[in-house]
Amino acid sequence: MKRFHRLGLAACAALALSNLQAEACTRFVYETGTGGYIVGRSMDWMADPETDLWSFPRGMARNGGAGDGSITWTSKYGSVIASFYNVATVDGMNEAGLMANTLYLAESDYGDAKASGKKLISVGAWTQYALDNFATVAEAVEALSKEPFAIVAPVLPDGNKATGHLSLADKTGDSAIFEYVDGKLVIHHSPKYTVMTNSPPFDQQLAISTYWKNIDGLDFLPGTINSADRFVRMSWALNATPKQKEEPLAVASAFSLIRSISVPLGLASPGKPNIAATIWRSIGDLGAKRYYFESAYSPSIFWVDLDKLNLAAGAKPARLDLSTHPVLSGEASARFAPSEPFPFLAQ
């Protein structure tokens, strides 16, 4: 399903103004000079969401974390993920090279889950469900379009409501964005959908971006940290960035893109409590199955090679504890320690 509206300048401005209190996460898909794909994202939040990295093996018995009536499944693929308050999976890559990123969307409306008659899943488990079950975007779109569950969105530990939209990308460059608007699932599926931010919903973001395509980005681009402006700037920068053939340079280019759109640590805006600083950034090299992580609290980058994690059925879940903001560099798979998996955000 794809919805598209053309907006005039006045409508674009109104949408941008209405977005002043949106979260500030950004996601993009970068094509390298060798036909590979790298996904980058920023996690922007009002406070440190106490993110840890986790490795989850294939063969894990799962449930949706929504109490009675929750959907259950067994993971087909192992994954490395970034948690959110250790009650939700918000980012990660599986061993098939599928990348999943969840970003805040204030307009999310999942409908009345209990009245739906469907199995239930916490929004905190939505991203993990995709990573556990699918190898490609097309496979995920086919399965999720049948709506095998209804999403429950509880309140986060920090008091904010858990509302978000999900993006998926695979090593072929395919991309899809899943949103619930007015209680209905809307799926935007195309390799063309290489950028996602927050509010407004994606069809309106596309319309705003279409207007700005008529403006030469070398002369002028919208400059605020608001979601609509970041969508435009990232779209322009992504198209302008050379497709690098050497992997280190391609990864460096992806980091330069996500840093260029990030929000300074500690930034606060009186009267706009949801304008948020960038807490961390991740880069996923889908072909190499390598997950890079950069904390805004640390001066260094580290990465995890999925092939070096024990993701075999029967292996124990493991955690890389980032609670003390350690300064890590290089390949970090050996630093994961066996740990009981966190429960998904309950009702």
Given pLDDT bands bounded at 50, 70 and 90, which one contains residue 5?
A: very low
Which residue type occupies 6? Answer: R
Q: Does residue 197 surpass a pLDDT of 70? A: yes
Q: Distance (Å, rounded) from C-alpha 238 to C-alpha 226?
A: 18
Contacts 24+ apart (CB under 8 A), 245-251: 245/32, 245/33, 245/34, 247/32, 247/36, 247/285, 247/288, 250/30, 250/32, 250/33, 250/36, 250/38, 250/285, 251/38, 251/283, 251/285, 251/292
Average pLDDT taken over every residue of the chain: 88
Given pLDDT bands bounded at 50, 70 and 90, which one contains residue 89?
A: very high
Q: Under CATH, which number does the domain 9-338 receive?
A: 3.60.60.10
Rounded to 10 degrees, the C-alpha dihedral 133/139/110/274 comes to 80
pLDDT, residue 304, reads 98
Backbone angles phi, psi at 292, to 5 degrees: -100, 150
The mean per-residue pLDDT over the stretch 240-253 comes to 96
Is the pTM for the entire model greater than 0.95? no
pLDDT, residue 13, reads 35
Helix axes 202-212, 9-18, angle to 10 degrees: 130
- Residues whose CB is less than 8 angstroms from the CB of residue 332 and which lie 6 or more positions away in sequence, other chains included: 302, 303, 304, 320
Given pLDDT bands bounded at 50, 70 and 90, which one contains residue 344?
A: very high
- Enzyme catalytic residues: 25
Q: Distance (Å, rounded) from C-alpha 174 to C-alpha 145?
A: 16
Q: What is the domain partition of the chain in residue ranges?
A: 9-338
Digit-coded pLDDT (tens) for 94-145? 999 999 999 988 888 999 988 898 999 999 999 999 999 999 999 999 999 9
Digit-coded pLDDT (tens) for 45-63? 888 999 999 999 999 999 9
Residue positions counted in the chain: 347
pLDDT, residue 14, reads 36
The closest of 279, 275, 282, 283 to 296, measured between CA atoms, is: 279
